[in-house]
Amino acid sequence: MTPFPSSRLEPCPLLRYLADFDPLHVPHYRFDVVVVGGGASGGFAALGAANAGKSVAVVMKGPATASNTQWAKGGMAAVLDPADSFATHRDDTLVVGCGLSDPEVVERVVEGGPAALAHMEALGAQFDRDAQGHLALSKEGGHSFARIVHADGDATGFEMQRAITAALVRHPRVRMFEHHFAIDVLTSGDGNVEGVLCLSDRHEKVAFATTQVVLATGGAGQIYRETTNPEIATGDGLAMALRAGAILRDTEFVQFHPTCLYIAGAARILISEIVRGAGGILRDRNGYRFMPDHHPDAELAPRDVVSRAVFEQMVRTNDTSVYLDLSELKENPHKAFPAISRHCSFFGIDIATDPIPVRPGAHYMVGGIKVDLDGRTSVPGLWAVGESSSTGLHGANRMGSNSLLEALVLGDACGKASAKEASSEPPRGLTAIAARPDADVPDGFRLNVGDLTYSLKSTMWRQMGVLRSGPVLEELQHQLRFWMGALLRWPQEGVGVWELHNMLTVSRMATLGALERQESRGVHARTDFPDFSPDGPYHLEITPQTDAGHILGVRVRRCPLHAVQQPS
């Protein structure tokens, strides 16, 4: 593929494997397909493969219910209103994607919406209905019609996760492994997938031998201090895929949700776009409604527009937040949004009368592991779905409630496709791994992993946040290199160390992309390059460069849209 218009090699030493592995002393499981992650995309991939007759392991970092899906407060988009159409949903998605969405992928996902919703209901999910018994549809930013299905107002993800987990538990060909931390994808000398190395719930290493691994590990919000993501969202899938040789794409596109509850001592709870769709108004500390100054759709503008407007208003008014006003809602907000009501009431905030303090938080990894329409990566036998993947649906900016839709439609497709390619032969004997050379650590020295992790999160929030600039990104890249160099010399293993490796790796790749993309597009905003690139829209691919099994750096290249629809 001819680079367009630039390609450069970035020195970026990485460990191929984070942990030592001796197959003679580590127990093995054998499955046709191994899915890492049990949220909406991983769950549907697992069910798709199991329904195709394959044995499936679902490896989960925490309990079965701990996923990004469970935290989804909004809903799932699907064309159900007779006045709506697939063409309109497609066009809305393409507009919000700012020129980088793949029309073929968008059409496939949008047209799969009604069937995916029916599948969810068949699994037992209960969605909100109106007085006539019809599905209640809401409208969110970027959508031309009310097409958002939700459950219990703002608990859609919880209900979907409940139904998916129950389906996995009762399926005879699925076995679930909770509290198993996936360390690395195992590959053979020729680069084919051989399995996954994990730390079990007994804190012992265990290998899952398979020819097909599906990464459904969610996003990387925890690389930021302010995030709506759960603690498990440390970018594990992206980092594992890169170390295994997979191409990453558009890692600079991190979507910030504009309205996260911001109270000292409270979790950064996402306040769904549905709340603004129902009539919630954003005001500053002086009571001024500022969104009409930024977009004709005001509070229902695309999320990148709202996030930047909120951030700029915070700076303009010298405040730590702006405020969401629900006093003009026609329905009782306590009844419509019970979860938000409960959280706020603990702090004495009555959401029907009191303004709710909100600010942006890292919410969704728009870029990710480059895949084709069925979820194939550039590594034979390795697949990716959901937030960890880059399918071409979201482009430069995810439209609200399209992610759960994508997870179900493409998760099912990935499961079926991986089942077809699963080998009837058990994987060959796994190769022993010596992950790292002996390190010269001074006597008495201790690397404070917790402090380094918090410093990373704070620095990423300050320097790679809603607004970015070249000099600040260069400074950040220097700091990330410094931290990574120290971590590469630290010999200890453990979940905290492995997560920090993953977080630093994803932070470096995101910052590399942000430096290379010298334009503002979608969720990526450069103050020194405020306009679209004159070269037109392009994807940024990051490919690991290896020598004798060691990752020496990555190649960053710009690719025209027509050349990157399938993995190279």
Q: Catalytic site residues?
A: 303
Q: Which of 503, 538, 549 is nearest to 227 (CA)?
A: 503
Tokens representing residue 274 in the block: 């549905």
Question: What are the distances in angstroms from CA 320 to CA 16, 220, 261, 262, 360?
Answer: 41, 24, 12, 8, 10
**What's the distance, CA 460 to chain centroid?**
16
**What's the distance, CA 389 to chain centroid?**
8
Q: Which residue has the tokens 């002996």?
A: 438
How far apart are alpha carbons 23 and 330 in whole angstroms?
A: 63
Question: What are the distances in angstroms from CA 508 to CA 193, 251, 326, 359, 527?
Answer: 25, 9, 39, 25, 20
Q: Kindly tell me the sign of the dihedral angle through the C-alpha atoms of 77, 78, 82, 87.
A: positive
Amino acid letter, 282:
L
Q: Which of 118, 30, 16, 67 is nearest to 385 (CA)?
A: 67
Question: What are the distances in angstroms from CA 264 to CA 71, 226, 356, 362?
Answer: 20, 12, 13, 17
Is beta strand 248-249 parallel, antiparallel or unpaired with respect to 538-547? antiparallel
How far apart are alpha carbons 151 and 393 in whole angstroms?
A: 24
Q: What is the DSSP code string of 488-532?
A: HH----SHHHHHHHHHHHHHHHHHHHHHH--S-BTTB-BTTB-S-
Residue 153 pairs with which residues in a beta bridge? none
Q: Which residue has the tokens 């958002």?
A: 148
Q: Which residue has the tokens 């990555």?
A: 554
Q: What is the DSSP code string of 313-377?
A: HHHHHT-S-EEEE-TT-SS-HHHH-HHHHHHHHHTT--TTTSPEEEEEEEEEE-SEEE--TT-B-
Q: Which of 232, 230, 219 is nearest to 368 (CA)?
A: 219
Residue 215 pairs with which residues in a beta bridge? 36, 384
Q: Kindly tell me the sign of the dihedral angle through the C-alpha atoms of 367, 369, 70, 394.
A: positive
Q: Kindly tell me the sign of the dihedral angle through the C-alpha atoms of 312, 313, 319, 323.
A: negative
How far apart are alpha carbons 361 and 259 in whole angstroms?
A: 8
Environment class of 280 (CB within 10 Å of its CB; exposed 0-12, middle 13-18, buried 19+):
buried
| Cβ atoms 212, 33 nearer than 8 A | yes
